[in-house]
Amino acid sequence: MENPRDNGATKHRKGRRVVLFPLPLQGHISPMLQLANILCSKGFAITIIHTRFNSPSSSKHPNFSFISISDGLSESEASTADVIALVTVLNVNCVLPFRNCLAKLLSDSLEEPVACIITDADWHFTQAVADSFKLPRIVLRTSSVFSFFAYATLPVLRERGYFPIEESQLEEPVPNLSPLKAKDLPLIDSRDPEDLYRLFSCIFKDIKVSSGLIWNTFEELEQSELITFGQEFPIPVFPVGPLHRYFPASTGSLLTEDRSCLSWLSTQAPKSVLYVSFGSLAAFDETQFEAMAWGLAKSKQPFLWVVRPGLVRGSEWLETLPNGFLETIEGRGHIVKWAPQQEVLAHPATGGFCTHNGWNSTFESICEGVPMICLPCHGDQKVNARYVTDVWKIGVHLENRLESGEIERAIRRLMVDSEGHEMRDRVMNLKEKVDLSLRQGGSYRALESLISHISSF
Ligand code: UDP
């Protein structure tokens, strides 16, 4: 295998350039930049087109060219918690700036002509732009394949009159989506419920006519789902994941990582620490936050907790921690605003991950052999959590109301009981499959075929 870490940036593959366009959300930017690193190491010249909103840090990627385009977001649009509304408006506002930017790039006499564009699947408008320039568009989908199917099923269920789901039906299995229950469906609250269906039907339609789809997953994990996907979407697919494993350091972080937690972890016993983090968007109310705090305190296990500013709605940072909490934990816990998560998960002291089950977090945990406590909030997180607990059996699901006693019990099940040890054995087994897939299995082959595919344009 050609070493993907070889820096081939100076000897560009047949002199070709790839233009990448990440969606400006943390869970989408990092995988796209990781993909750019891989393609750069394979000899392609890289241009990143990005919005002003949540723009990536160009100084961390001196080998790439960065071009910023206007996104037209108002202050309130940029700070909304309504992700569906945000993605919907971005898909309108960015059409002209993206088209103009691409037109300029194509007319510039670049040393390396553009082979194709690679855009996040959520940028559905880019298919029409690519078609108008007769340029191939490859799509990067940053979720799992099975959660993609769950989204794809929503419009079908709606047509059959499945919604709204009654309270009494929440535990029932969803037709044709075993093992999902009705309460696991990836519904996302939005100002206009129709936005979700409209957005996803555009995404599916434009994936179908794209020149290929890159998945941040690996074949050995989602074999049957990939086969079904191939039957419904007859386009080339490249399950090359885990994208973050090709290069050691993550460089796509929008927030500053507090690395003090790594030295704190080094003072803890092997596999003793529960890492607690809910990604870049999830938010709790004060009661839930307080329950979490007391659950951690009562469990008596060491923990590293990421309390992102904004994690508790309406609060600055730690002011809503309950009185007496810090005294109770007696130095057993360490709290930071943002952690170098992949390094935390890979640290020998980390023994469990209490997560919201965003796909990146879930996949990063699998890749380091760390079992999980699943506390999904919305969208595909609930689907990922169901797979973690019911299919791979590598986690404990907190399905009911967030209550400190429940959290304490879940922590002890994972970190102390024999049940937790069995989960750790199973996730270690998956980690070995990941390593093998990258070395000589599905991901290795998928990356080789992606490189030939791009080189053929
Ligand atoms: N992350 C991080 N530090 C933190 C918390 C999260 O670097 O303190 C990273 C994490 O490694 C992952 C991403 O942020 O790559 C979160 O993506 P995910 O899909 O899990 O959740 P989202 O933020 O999209 O809800």
Alpha carbons 207 and 200: distance in angstroms, whole number: 10
167 assigned to some structural domain: yes
Q: Whole-angstrom Cα distance, residue 233 to residue 18?
A: 24
Q: Cα(353)–Cα(295) distance, rounded to whole angstroms?
A: 14
Q: What is the pLDDT of residue 249?
A: 66
For the cut 80, the answer to whether the pLDDT of residue 93 exceeds it is yes
Rounded CA separation 69/79 (Å): 18
Kindly state whether residues 31 and 106 are assigned to the same domain: yes
Residue 50 in any domain: the answer is yes
- Is residue 7 pLDDT above 70, yes or no? no
- What single DSSP character describes residue 257? -
pLDDT at 9 over 60: no
Distance CA 51, CA 33 (A): 14
Q: What percent of the chain has pLDDT over 90?
A: 88
- 164: DSSP letter: S
Q: Whose structure tokens read 């659950």?
A: 295
Query: Does a structural domain hold residue 412?
Result: yes
pLDDT band at 168 (very low <50, low <70, confident <90, very high): very high
Q: What is the pLDDT of residues 263-273, one digit of tens each?
A: 999 999 999 99
Q: What is the pLDDT of residues 105-145, one digit of tens each?
A: 999 877 899 999 999 999 999 999 999 999 999 999 999 99
Q: pLDDT averaged over the chain? A: 94
Amino acid at 396: V
219 and 267 within one domain: no
Q: Which residues touch 198 (CB under 8 Å, ≥6 apart)?
A: 88
Residue 61: C-alpha distances to residues 3, 36, 117, 253, 269 (Å):
19, 10, 19, 12, 36
Query: Domain holding 126: CATH number?
Result: 3.40.50.2000
127: its two tokens: 């298919």
Q: Count of domains in the chain?
A: 2
Q: What is the pTM of this model?
A: 0.95
In order of 39, 191, 279, 442, the CA distances from 87 in angstroms are 26, 13, 18, 32
54, part of any domain = yes
Closest C-alpha to ligand 1, atom 2: 341
Q: What is the pLDDT of residues 10-67, one digit of tens each?
A: 456 668 999 999 999 999 999 999 999 999 999 999 999 999 999 999 999 999 999 9
Determine the atom of ligand 1 nearest the C-alpha atom of 357: 20
Compute the distance from residue 23 Cα to the ligand 1 centre, in Å: 14
Q: Are residues 218 and 270 in the same domain?
A: no
241 and 325 in a single domain? The answer is no
Mean pLDDT of 405-434: 98
DSSP 291-315: HHHHHHHHHT--EEEE--TTSBTT-
**Ligand 1 atom nearest to CA at 361:** 20
Query: What pLDDT was estimated at residue 189?
Result: 87
Same-domain pairing of 175 and 288: no
Residue 1 covered by a domain? no
| Residue 168 within a domain | yes
Ligand 1 pocket: which of 23, 25, 26 to mutate (most atoms <8 Å of CB)?
26
State the residue range of the domain holding 329.
260-434
> What confidence tens digit (pLDDT) does each residue in 362-404 have?
999 999 999 999 999 999 999 999 999 999 999 999 988 899 9
Pocket of ligand 1 from Cβ distances under 6 Å: 26-27, 30, 253, 277, 279-281, 306, 338-339, 341-342, 358-361, 364
Measure 27 CA to ligand 1 centroid, in angstroms: 6
Q: What single-letter amino acid sits at 164?
A: P
271, part of any domain: yes
Q: Given the structure tokens 């929440």, which residue do they identify?
A: 170
- Residues 240 and 353 occupy one common structural domain: no
Residues 69 and 43 in one domain: yes
Q: In terms of domains, do 46 and 158 share one? A: yes
Mark whether 35 and 160 lie in a shared domain: yes
Asked, for residue 2, whether it belongs to a domain, the answer is no
**Nearest residue to 37 via CA among 240, 228, 201, 274:** 240
Claim to verify: residue 139 and residue 217 sit in the same structural domain: yes
281 and 214 in a single domain? The answer is no
Please compute the mean of the pLDDT values over residues 77-101 and round it to a whole number.
96
Q: Residue 12: its pLDDT value, please? A: 62
- For ligand 1, atom 5, the nearest C-alpha belongs to 279
Same domain, 332 and 207: no
